[in-house]
């Protein structure tokens, strides 16, 4: 069964969900160091405190089919 790509309204809802998650983690999780959006893109940079390394960086990229 084919999956339809997310439209503008659905992508906007997903973007808002990611933004709320980042805000919640920033307030509640001491391991969460930073979470910022790449201006003009559906991409976020998340920085976490690590165990073996001081920090771990993760990029979240929202596409029409996936969150990578």
Instruction: Name the residue ranges covered by the structural domains of the chain.
Output: 8-61
Binning pLDDT at 50, 70 and 90, where does residue 55 land? Answer: very high
Q: What does pTM read for this prediction?
A: 0.88
C-alpha to C-alpha distances, 48 to 10, 12, 22, 58, 63, nearest whole angstrom: 28, 25, 12, 8, 23
Helices and strands per DSSP (H, E), number in the chain: 1, 3
Is 90 exceeded by the pLDDT of residue 46?
A: yes
- What is the distance, to the nearest Å, from the Cα of residue 28 to the centroid of all Cα atoms in its chain? 16
**What pLDDT score does 25 carry?**
96
User: pLDDT digits over 3-40, tens only?
Assistant: 899 999 999 999 999 999 999 999 999 999 999 999 99
The answer to whether the CB of 46 falls within 8 A of the CB of 34 is: yes
Is 90 exceeded by the pLDDT of residue 1?
A: no
C-alpha to C-alpha distances, 25 to 10, 28, 30, 40, nearest whole angstrom: 23, 5, 8, 23
């Amino acid at each position: 069964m084919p999956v339809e790509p997310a439209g503008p309204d659905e992508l906007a809802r997903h973007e808002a969900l990611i933004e709320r998650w980042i805000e919640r983690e920033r307030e509640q999780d001491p391991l969460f160091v930073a979470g910022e959006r790449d201006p003009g893109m559906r991409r976020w940079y998340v920085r976490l405190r690590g165990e073996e390394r001081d920090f771990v960086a993760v990029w979240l990229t929202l596409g029409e089919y996936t969150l990578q």
